[in-house]
A and B are shown apart, each in its own frame.
Chain A
Amino acid sequence: GENVEQHPSTLSVQEGDSAVIKCTYSDSASNYFPWYKQELGKRPQLIIDIRSNVGEKKDQRIAVTLNKTAKHFSLHITETQPEDSAVYFCAALPAGGTSYGKLTFGQGTILTVHP
């Protein structure tokens, strides 16, 4: 099945700085890679996603890059704000095989943005 590794586990930045979170995946059949933001006690909220037919996607201060050959994808947050503080999860969704249709999550990154 799919295995997703996420780093770092914690990330502390100053307001205005950039934050980068990296994930690797193992299943070459994965073709959909969402990123979620989860605040304490709340549901995961989709913040951006990317499909395997593109290498980069941007939405205002958030961007995601995908390297299919190396099987890794990254989340980039620019001009961070205190309200960006949360736990961020990457995930991969295989398009076939035994894990077809099942999201596999990374371990999560606790992002803290200091004012």
Chain B
Amino acid sequence: GAVVSQHPSRVICKSGTSVKIECRSLDFQATTMFWYRQFPKKSLMLMATSNEGSKATYEQGVEKDKFLINHASLTLSTLTVTSAHPEDSSFYICSASSGRGNEQFFGPGTRLTVL
């Protein structure tokens, strides 16, 4: 299957700082990337969908000014958690697809801990 990387794998930061997470498709062009959030022992919750070169579409209840998403190229999408607070601590997972309706390939996830 296709390979998706995510960086960093783990980050600990102080409250009030911003954290950027990168998601890369290594061997295919990802026209669509998805960002999920997963709390312990819970399912994956879709936060937003991003298409290369256009603004991300956020799910209901997700603050777009809090979670900035950029999909500047066909192989890279970034999620920036701005002014992070302890309640933002979670496991963030991206996935990439070569098109809507196609199989999604997941990144390894980023464990964010906000102190």
Contacts and interface: CB of A to CB of B under 8 A. Distances in A.
A41 B97 CA distance: 22
Contact of B49 (A42, A93, A102): A102
Given A32-B101, A43-B93, A95-B101, A105 B43 contact: yes
Contacts, number: 49
Interface string A93-106: 10100001111111
Interface residues of B, number: 23
A46 B45 CA distance: 17
Interface residues of A, number: 22
Interface stretch (B14-22, B66-74, B104-112): B104-112
A25 interface: no
B44 interface: yes
Interface string B37-65: 00001111110010000000000000000
A78 interface: no
Which 3 residue pairs of A and B lie closest in terms of their CB atoms, listed nearest first? Answer: A101-B100, A43-B106, A105-B43
Interface of B: 1, 32, 34, 41-46, 49, 91, 93, 95, 97, 100-101, 103-104, 106-109, 111
